[in-house]
Amino acid sequence: MALIPRRDQLPIPPKTAKVYNTVCQYCNVGCGYKVYVWPVGEQGGPKPNQNAFGLDLTQPQPPLAGQSYTETMHAVTVGKDGRQYHVVIVPAKDSPINRGNYSIRGGTNALTVWSLDRGTQDRLTYPLLRVGDQFQAITWQDALTLMALLIKGIRDRDGNDDNIAVKCYDHGGSGQGFEDNYGAGKLFFSALSVKHIAIHNRPAYNSEVWGSRERGVHELNYDYSDARLADTIVLWGANPYETATVFYAEHMLPNLQGATIPEKQQAYEKGEPAEPGRLIVIDPRKTSSYTVAEAVAKDRVMLLQPNLGTDYILANAIARVVWERGYYDMAYLQARTDMGLFEEYKKKSLKLDMPYGEFMAWAERITGVPRAQIEKAADWIAKPKAGGFKRRTLTIYEKGIIWNMKNYDQVAAIVQLAVLTHNIGRAGTGCGRQGGHQEGYVRPPAPTPGSIYRGGPPVNVDKFLTDGKGKFYWVIATDPYLSTPNAQVFRKRIHERTEKLTKALGAGGEPGTIRERAQKILDILYADPEALFLVVQDIYMTETARDAHLILPAAAWGEANDTSINCNSRLLRLYEKFMDPPGEAKPDWEIFKLVGLRIADLYRAEGKVKEAEKFEFGKNWKTDEDVFLAGAEEFSDNRVSEEDEAKLEAENYKGVTYKFLKEVGQQGIRTPVRRDPKTGKLVGTLRRYTHKFGTPDGKFKWYGTDDWEGYPAEVAKYLEGDKAKAYPFWVTTGRAQTIWQTAYHDRHLPEKAMALPLPYVEVNPEDARRLGLQSGDLVEVYNEEGNGTFLVYVTDAVKPGMLFLVMYHWRGTSNSLVSGYTDPKTTIPWYKGTRANLRKVAGAIPSVQQTASLLQQNKFD
């Protein structure tokens, strides 16, 4: 029997099929898709007038330019009416982002649809309550009552919400767009005042880019077209071939190949040279994004491999070259930036008191990047073109920077380099995140502080919990047992704490009613401070959910209407609902609403009307759009001129409706959306900060970065004495193109699970020879934080003495080895830097060797 069933033909959508617009549920790119749904038993024909595609399927589709439709783009689901329906999800030809292209992620969207004959049948379909040593199905009424009684009981006893901890998304994509985010914000920030809240992929409620935002630059400021128009693209700690595949293949590579020169000639000034683009990759690894580009344009691609944690020193060194060589426009700096703060930047970041030669030798020693490469990078980024025209450079950074040591300074140094060279606000320029997934943030003000310069940093919620604090932990649409830093320690402590409650609940017999259960739980929580009640709200049973006391089933992508913006253009579109959630699963916003209303009922029963009213925020929410429109009221008045767009929140969509989004379809509208003061029409923003920066006076705020202080104690301990020998490898981490995030869907899809059956470690050939390793071997990678078993890939992608571990695999996460260090200015962890050792594990797993590819993952010759 085949591991993956194959078919001779695919069902053709009939003319009567329902057609929906949507956007891929996965990465930051936001590729557009069309969805076709029709009952099983009906079939379209091959002629254009016989199928919903409107194509002549008797003829082959043109290569690359035709309509893609593969086995992974079809599934069968079951509706609430009990009927089976075909679901076909194909890339949209009218999407400006992907233009009919797709990645391995988007090309398998259909496989994630809930189905009775696939692994997705494992979806959570009704609330589950832990009774003794097993989970039992309960009604929503009982689940909501238990939640409400516990939350209210803790508030009543404490007089505050400080014993309630939350781990929740704060963005969009994967079914959590503006709608779900607003529901979460209203419950946790307006009704409750939860200070111990952490974002899905980090241990605090914080921005990964305060170093840019506090300068006046929101991290989403460029457009996808800028990747086509740039003279130079800088990928700094970003690997888009793996994690933003279509953005890279559809827009960056054509630039390197010279295919976008006609577009440049139209966008550039008269007489300005337009040439094929250049690419600078700055990463400790030789990533696939570099390797692919090198095959296309070897002479126009450069790789800089800084020592881990030293990127901000490298950014300052490039900026110093820019200063010394005069690659800047003083008139621009004086008009658009705070020149008083510029003196601090020159002194601390550029170190102008230090002679140039001495400075470059210092930077070379710290970063490990040769001076000649630093100077060449400065030329490619900022050296004026023939005729004196400014070079146009687009800098895109991602997890390699934002999850770096000293997060605040890393981000600040890079955005300051871009402003110094006037590479923000012009066509072909920009400096911002690649993004992890699509965004959709709209919430009331959070009761948490900002960076250290804005009352912070925010509290480390992981540490709060592992220190034995908190009584109620609500985990929503994330799996911290895999994704949090220092994950092995975190898993152990949360398990210990939840098990204390579980055992105490069973002593003397399990309570017979929900009210009795709630009372006994509260009594235990206050008798034993170590005990912890855990709620998990998700679409599958996750690693974290195995220790939960209550599990709430959520709706997924495609099962509700959602809105988000993509990261390369801030393009707002509607993800139309095209199927029902399975069983009793509900959209997150509705769960938040229902929990709030149940708490309100309890307060009203006690005559506490004003307190009850706080929790009735969702009483008028009947539809997804009701929540979307309510969220819009959090934004400021967007009736501003184009020159004042910087005053607006990056995701401001005030005035937009679902009707409007259905009309514009895949073209969407770019946020921040303005209502033009002259015409009253809604207008999108192509790129940001052409006229002003996002500060009260419109001027960019310079910042003097810290001096090099070495590594934090959590990592420095591995560099001294016997530990330096015991843990000889630097370890960095990252993602694989095949699986997404914690592989919540992918582990249930044989097409994905077979491709990456085990987590892997990249080992340099020199180290592999010395240790007697070859691709396919199993090794244990370990340090004092934790350990894991990984499949070996021998590749020169990593330098000798460095290992690369894939993140978040369900059979082993690299985060088990990551330290608990966080940037003291932001509480952002350093996921991508630690030390470890490895040892070969005896034997092998034959089934893995038979089915998994052991080729170098980024070798394309």
Strand partners, 431: 395
Q: For residue 335, count CB atoms less than 10 angstroms from its CB and return exposed for 0-12, middle for 13-18, buried for 19 or more.
A: exposed
pLDDT band at 694 (very low <50, low <70, confident <90, very high): very high
pTM of the model: 0.97
Residue type, 314: L
User: CB-based contacts of 834: which residues, under 8 Å, 6+ apart?
Assistant: 714, 715, 718, 730, 731, 783, 785, 817, 818, 819
Q: Are 173 and 432 in contact (CB under 8 A)?
A: no
Statement: residue 452 has pLDDT above 60: yes
Cα–Cα nearest to 230, from 431, 427, 432, 433: 427
Structure tokens at 714: 């959590």
Statement: residue 117 has pLDDT above 90: no
Q: Are 69 and 3 in contact (CB under 8 A)?
A: no
Structure tokens at 103: 């990645």
Statement: residue 147 has pLDDT above 50: yes
pLDDT band at 1 (very low <50, low <70, confident <90, very high): very low
Sheet holding 278-282, edge to edge: 301-304, 278-282, 232-236, 393-397, 430-433
Strand partners, 281: 235, 303
User: pLDDT value at position 843?
Assistant: 78
Determine the average pLDDT of the residues in 69-87: 95
d(CA 98, CA 784): 44
Nearest-Å Rg of the Cα atoms of the chain is 27
- Strands (E) across 150-231 are located at 164-168, 196-199
Q: For residue 378, count CB atoms less than 10 angstroms from its CB and return exposed for 0-12, middle for 13-18, buried for 19 or more.
A: buried
User: pLDDT value at position 172?
Assistant: 65
Segment 201-226, tens digit of pLDDT:
999 999 999 999 999 999 999 999 99
Q: Are 682 and 669 in contact (CB under 8 A)?
A: yes
Segment 258-304, tens digit of pLDDT:
999 999 999 999 999 999 999 999 999 999 999 999 999 999 999 99
Residue with tokens 């002194």: 347
Strand partners, 552: 537
Q: Are 575 and 513 in contact (CB under 8 A)?
A: no
Cα–Cα nearest to 23, from 104, 85, 89: 89
Q: Are 789 and 827 in contact (CB under 8 A)?
A: no
Statement: residue 237 has pLDDT above 80: yes
**Number of C-beta neighbours around residue 530 at 10 A:** 13
Q: How far is CA 230 from the centre of its chain?
A: 25
User: pLDDT value at position 861?
Assistant: 37
Higher pLDDT pick, 756 / 468: 468
User: pLDDT value at position 375?
Assistant: 98
Residue with tokens 């993956």: 4
Determine the average pLDDT of the residues in 18-27: 96
pLDDT band at 860 (very low <50, low <70, confident <90, very high): very low
User: CB-based contacts of 238: which residues, under 8 Å, 6+ apart?
Assistant: 244, 289, 396, 397, 398, 399, 400, 401, 434
Three-state SS for 569?
A: coil
User: pLDDT value at position 855?
Assistant: 58
pLDDT band at 850 (very low <50, low <70, confident <90, very high): low
Segment 712-739, tens digit of pLDDT:
999 999 999 999 999 999 999 999 988 8
Cα–Cα nearest to 197, from 382, 393, 408, 474: 474
Three-state SS for 524?
A: helix
User: pLDDT value at position 671?
Assistant: 98
Statement: residue 330 has pLDDT above 50: yes
User: pLDDT value at position 851?
Assistant: 67
User: pLDDT value at position 501?
Assistant: 98
Of all residues in the chain, what percent carry a pLDDT higher than 70? 98
**Number of C-beta neighbours around residue 233 at 10 A:** 30
User: pLDDT value at position 859?
Assistant: 45
Structure tokens at 727: 């843990």
d(CA 288, CA 496): 41
Looking at residue 811, the DSSP 8-state letter turns out to be T
Question: Max Cα separation, the chain?
Answer: 86
User: pLDDT value at position 842?
Assistant: 86
Of all residues in the chain, what percent carry a pLDDT higher than 90? 91
Q: Are 653 and 674 in contact (CB under 8 A)?
A: no
Segment 466-523, tens digit of pLDDT:
999 999 999 999 999 999 999 999 999 999 999 999 999 999 888 989 999 999 999 9
Q: Are 738 and 447 in contact (CB under 8 A)?
A: no
Reported residue count of the chain is 861
pLDDT band at 750 (very low <50, low <70, confident <90, very high): confident
Determine the average pLDDT of the residues in 167-183: 85
Q: Are 655 and 632 in contact (CB under 8 A)?
A: yes
Q: What is the mean pLDDT of the chain?
A: 95
